[in-house]
Amino acid sequence: MKTITKDEVTHFINGEKVKGKNNKYGYVYSPSTGQQIATVPYASAEEVDETVKSAKQAQKEWASTSLGKRAKVVQRFSELLTQHTEELARLIGKENGKTISDAKGEISRGIESVDLAMGVAQIVKGEHSTNVGGDINAYSIKQPLGVVTCISPFNFPVMVPLAMSTMAVAVGNAMILKPSEKVPQSAIRMSELWKEAGLPDGVWNVVNGDKDTVDAIITHKDVQAISFVGSTKVAEAIYETGTKHHKRVQAFGGGKNHMVIMPDVNLDKAVDAFIGAAYGSASQRCMAISVAMPVGEQTAKAFTEKLKAKVKDLKPGAFDDNNADFGAVISNEAKQNVLKAIDEAVDEGAQVIVDGRKPNVENEDGFYLGATLLGDVTPDMDVYKKEVFGPSREIVAVESLEEAIDAINEHEYGNGVSIFTNSGVAARKFTQEIEVGMVGVNVPIPIPVAYHNFGGWKGSRFGEGQMFGPDTARFFTKVKTVSERWFDDGDMTSTTNFNFPSSD
């Protein structure tokens, strides 16, 4: 694999780009070319501690800043993100591999979360009750936690950090973002935009690193909350470690998302919906459709034939190739993992309907895979049980809607699911009985808009916090309830009462 001259990525600490001191580095590759494009420093525990200390100091002043001023900074940040969309999209494409158009879509969805945070003054309003008893008024206050952290994945270098962190900043916390070491450059550019927007130094920080860096962050005594997105194995470990150290933790893991196709649906529409949701971003989305589940033999046969014809025509390519349907996977390791999953599925009896293992691409050094479609897959196969994070998708035929619901509910993951049908009765039954956190009806990727909550069930999420929506503010704030009474200076009577207080 050819190596080219590479730039060193920095941390972003206390308002400045800071070189690593740890003399420990990782390597950033462009998936489109396979070339090394940068080195990234891995922060030591000492560097993490320095960052937390400066963040803790900055947070005090930021929390005392008026809600109106905070909202204006967030608004300016949104404007800058919009202005720099083209630049950010190219950064995403270069270090992540997804196409420019897909990257722009990611940024647009991320900006939705920023725009929601503009309304922070409305979102964090408390409650008030007058004269709850004995001339006492009661009210609640939502206050920031302090220093918090977000640990974000490689597959959405901009959208997920924005969704995880913007509300946390808006409600008055100081943030330490630990982006994936595979895609650090987008995070540093966002940091510069935060500073340009007027965010005080130290409120927003980026610390790059590996597992040792993460451990130093999530066990630090002054880090109050952890938001994580990544694989289920790591999400569970983050949750266990964080809660053991008395942190508030929300950890979002992987998914095995099904799309149920009922016999009454327009199959052409279902096929088009499946292809985009299954193979977009080279299938490197936690909400990507992994499994097509047609109901009935005739539906399965017709759906498979239509799908096969279109999957064959899908074209992988470089991030800046306007003719590419999707880009490369993130690394050679990721590519080999997908190839291994396909080979194991074949050994278990799966049929390769479309074989994308050897795609025809211009740059063979890139981490490319074509679109693979597997048939004759059954729920007892490993390929069905596991999340395959790359462009290999499966067809699992069932005889009834009830069988589909049972199979999905028995699966380890519960992130997203969709049903395609023209029957309101079938849709209602499905949405009521399915044990999955996000459900689509004739919507292939049921990822909520920013003002609704995001979160899977079962092995797809650990902790009760949610990403996106009003629950983001709840997760990053603590509630203080005040009971308040004022005495009349002219009333000189006073008695001692040993009874438990009541509202009588």
For the beta sheet containing 461-462, the strands, ordered from the edge strand earlier in sequence to the opposite edge, are 16-18, 11-13, 204-206, 174-178, 147-151, 223-229, 248-252, 461-462
Residue 455 lies in a domain: no
* Alpha carbon separation from 276 to 193, 272, 311, 326 (Å, rounded): 31, 7, 10, 10
Contact 43, 11 (CB under 8 A): yes
Residue closest to 355 by CA, chosen among 368, 343, 366, 371: 371
* HSE-CB of 32 using CA atoms within 13 angstroms: 21
Placement of tokens 């890139």 in the chain: 366
Q: Are residues 247 and 275 in the same domain?
A: no
416 in any annotated domain: yes
Q: What is the pLDDT of residue 467?
A: 79
Do 293 and 216 share a structural domain?
no
| Same domain? 249 vs 333 | no
281 and 199 part of one domain: no
Number of structural domains, the chain? 2
Does residue 296 sit within a domain? Answer: yes
Inside any domain, residue 504: no
Global confidence as pTM: 0.93
Q: How many residues does the chain have?
A: 504
- Summarize the chain as % helix, strand, coil (round to 5): 40, 25, 40
Identify whether residues 240 and 301 lie together within a single domain. no
458: alpha, beta or left, given left = phi > 0 and alpha = psi -120 to 50?
A: left
Closest-CA residue to 415 (of 457, 472, 466): 457
Rounded-to-integer distance, Cα 376 and Cα 379, Å: 10
Antiparallel, parallel or unpaired: β 204-206 and 174-178: parallel
Q: What is the CATH number of the domain that holds 375?
A: 3.40.309.10
- Res 6: pLDDT: 59
Which among 413, 456, 463 has a CA at the least distance from the CA of 240?
Answer: 463
pLDDT for 2 equals 37
Which residue pairs from 351-359 have beta carbons closer than 8 angstroms and sit at least 24 positions apart in sequence?
Answer: 351/375, 351/376, 353/304, 353/308, 353/311, 353/395, 354/308, 354/311, 354/312, 356/314, 356/316, 356/391, 356/392, 359/316
Closest by Cα among 265, 374, 389, 274 to 331: 389
Q: Which residue's structure tokens are 């299954």?
A: 278
Per DSSP bridges, beta strands 416-420 and 223-229 are: unpaired
* Residue range of the domain that includes 142: 3-253+460-481
Cα 104 from Cα 85, distance rounded (Å): 7
The answer to the question of residue 495 being in a domain is: no
Query: Cα–Cα distance between 111 and 158 in angstroms, integer?
Result: 9
The closest alpha carbon to 273, from 285, 286, 284, 288, belongs to 288
Residue with tokens 């289920």: 232
Amino acid present at 297: E
Structural tokens at position 220: 């630090």
Same domain, residue pair 341 and 417 = yes
Mark whether 245 and 263 lie in a shared domain.
no
Same domain, 284 and 395: yes
User: Does any domain span residue 289?
Assistant: yes
The amino acid sitting at 417 is: V
Q: Is residue 453 part of a domain?
A: no
pLDDT in tens, the chain (504 residues): 333 345 889 999 999 999 999 889 999 999 999 999 999 999 999 999 999 999 999 999 999 999 999 999 999 999 999 999 999 999 999 999 999 999 999 999 999 999 999 999 999 998 999 998 888 999 999 999 999 999 999 999 999 999 999 999 999 999 999 999 999 999 999 999 999 999 999 999 999 999 999 999 999 999 999 999 999 999 999 999 999 999 999 999 989 999 999 999 999 999 999 999 999 999 999 889 999 999 999 999 999 999 999 999 999 999 999 999 999 999 999 999 999 999 999 999 999 999 999 999 989 999 999 999 999 999 999 999 999 999 999 999 999 999 999 999 999 998 899 999 999 999 999 999 999 998 999 999 887 877 777 887 888 888 887 777 788 999 999 999 999 999 887 776 777 777 777 766
358/472 same-domain check:
no
Same domain, 242 and 301: no
Instruction: Please indicate, yes or no, if residue 499 is contained in any of the structural domains.
Output: no
Residues 242 and 389 in one domain: no
The four Cα atoms 200, 204, 209, 214 give a dihedral, to 10 degrees, of 130
pLDDT for residue 504: 65
Look-up of token digits 């949750």: 239
Token digits for 269? 């529409």
Catalytic residues: 286
pLDDT of residue 452: 78
If asked whether residues 367 and 232 sit together in one domain, one would say: no
Strand, helix or coil for residue 4? strand
Structural domain ending residue among the three candidates 411, 441, 471: 441
Instruction: Report the distance separating Cα 93 and Cα 87, nearest Å.
Output: 10
